[in-house]
Amino acid sequence: MKTIGILENTVQEYAWGSLKAIPDLLGKTNLSQQPQAELWMGAHPKAPSYVVCDGQKRSLMELIKQYPREILGDKTAERFHNELPYLFKVLAAAKPLSIQAHPSLDQAREGFRKESAENIPLDAPNRNYKDENHKPECICALTPFWALFGFRTVADIRVHISKICPLGLADELAQLNSQPNSEGLKHFFTALMTLNEKSKTRIVDETRQNAGRFTHEDATYQWIMRLLEENSSDIGVLSPTFLNLIELQPGQALFLPAGELHAYLEGVGIELMANSDNVLRGGLTPKHVDVAELLQVLHFESRPVTILEAQIVSKNERSYPSHADEFVLSVITVSDRLAYLSPDLRSVEIMLCTHGRALLEDIDNQNTVELNKGSSVVIPAAVRNYRIVGNCTLYKAAVPI
């Protein structure tokens, strides 16, 4: 495959998804009226994109197997064993997602090996590891986007818990006071995750009685009340008290490494990650929660949150600092006065148009593809030079060179 391919992608329908955001992006009517949560662009076995190639519609995963070096480029094919190393998504959250973390590469390989040896089916609800890959990820806001990410300082946690649950968590507060470090944080979180049902109910009830008194002071308590509406008996409703609460503005991004506890709460964003579906959940979900495995994966350190701003690459391309070997996310703005020309060094790229219209031209082969809002394409490494003309905004997934 040596030409630009138009992608047909799978929309994942999860309960927390939006009824409108992804259909509006794609210019389609949501006939089923089911929440549409994620649009997947890539070659993950669960939902690979499809490409029209030589008159046939074939999965991108199959095409990469057949033409690994043409699509990926020699270096990327060799480094990532003839597989596309990233998964590109649009994420549309109308309700909070689960509290979760992702394993490191070594943890993913060991977890996958162990669960496979135990003959746990890949689609079993109690399976933690769906593949052998880690899942660092970057989320970039298209709308105001709320998230929880990384543990707050112990001082912050003590202040918030003292307001909403001073009685039910008195022992845990005392322990944090006597051990205000990462080990104390681990003990505190472990205590929350291993509460018996009676204690959990008592603590959630106390939280419900108190949090509403402070909603005018801090968005932390507003989110606790919202989480209580969706998860009336889940200890995860306390998560805004011990995780950093963040509101990204459009164009701002976060990088989430392995082992960091997080949850997306509300908003629409572009998500780029290593090609994996490994998730270890800790609450705010009816899905499988494996506390012991989650505790093995997590980093128990308070951390400041670094909000990423796009950095200038060229006159009309800006990229987000990538801390991953598998991917880098950038945004391209094309106007009548300024076309986009492909870089000299590049690997396989996937592009999504989020605004406007443009023409994407393979210069050597004189092949032109029309881009409209919601359309996406894969540009193989074998396409040596291309240009984009028109008026549009594009998000590009690429492999760092």
What count of other Cβ atoms lies within 10 Å of the Cβ of residue 183?
A: 10
Half-sphere exposure of 124 (CA within 13 A, CB side): 12
Six-digit token pair at 84? 């596309």
Q: Which residue bears the tokens 């270890």?
A: 280
Geometric angle at alpha carbon 233, from 231 and 239, rounded to 5°: 65
DSSP letter assigned to residue 232? T
Half-sphere exposure of 264 (CA within 13 A, CB side): 29
The DSSP-derived string for 57-111 is EEEHHHHHHHSHHHHH-HHHHHHTTTS--EEEEEEEESSPPPEEE---HHHHHHH
DSSP H or E run through 374: none
Q: What distance, in Å, lies between the first and last C-alpha atoms of the chain?
A: 21
Give the C-alpha separation, 282 to 383, whole Å.
44
Give the C-alpha separation, 218 to 202, whole Å.
24
Give the C-alpha separation, 339 to 321, whole Å.
24
Type of residue found at 266:
E
DSSP H or E run through 198: helix 197-211
DSSP letter assigned to residue 185? H
**281 counts as catalytic:** yes
Radius of gyration, CA atoms only, the chain: 22
Q: Which of 152, 226, 281, 346 is labelled catalytic? A: 281
Catalytic residues: 281
